[in-house]
Amino acid sequence: MCAARSVGETGGVYFVPALAGLGSPFWEPGARGLIAGLTQGTTRAHVVRAALEAIAYRVRDVLEALPLELEVLRVDGGAAANDFLMQFQADILGIPVEVGRERETTALGAAALALGVTPQPQPGARYEPRLPPEEAERLYAGWREALRRTLL
């Protein structure tokens, strides 16, 4: 079982992965990493889950900075193999997340274009939002508070 799934939530733990500053959309090179909300009851699984959730929060931060509204997020790459992360990404964005059948769709598409071929990505798994929007907003507000502490 995935460590992140072994707990129902992070227990209020948030991990801000600003280990070399904070990139888009904040561009704060002086920001430092932070694990907030630790208690005596915090376990390794809570921290693992917080680290995975941080990836989804960072994606939402970037998407909220863009002048567009997505209907679906299509993803590939190594992290796309993590079912927990993909479901949480759909939940926190409130839109479906589609994972390409081929894990490295982006690289294959670039190669196809270089050869003059129009790539035809094949869909794989699809994750629909399951978290109530109010809960997603509550969690994201906690993330933004942890992020605020990092940016001080």
The residue extents of the domains of the chain are 3-150
Compute the CA torsion angle 11, 12, 13, 17 (nearest 10 deg). 140
Average pLDDT, the chain: 91
Residue 34, Cβ neighbours under 10 Å: how many? Answer: 17
- Judge whether residue 110 has pLDDT over 80: no
Q: Give me the count of residues in the chain.
A: 152
- Judge whether residue 27 has pLDDT over 70: yes
pLDDT for the residue 6: 86
Average pLDDT over residues 12-29: 95
Q: Tens digit of pLDDT for each residue in 41-85?
A: 999 999 999 999 999 999 999 999 999 999 999 998 889 999 999
pLDDT for the residue 31: 93
Percentage of residues in the chain having pLDDT higher than 90 = 74
Residue 47, Cβ neighbours under 10 Å: how many? Answer: 19
Please give the CATH topology (third level) of the domain spanning 3-150.
Nucleotidyltransferase; domain 5 (3.30.420)
pLDDT for the residue 46: 96
pLDDT for the residue 96: 98
pLDDT for the residue 1: 58
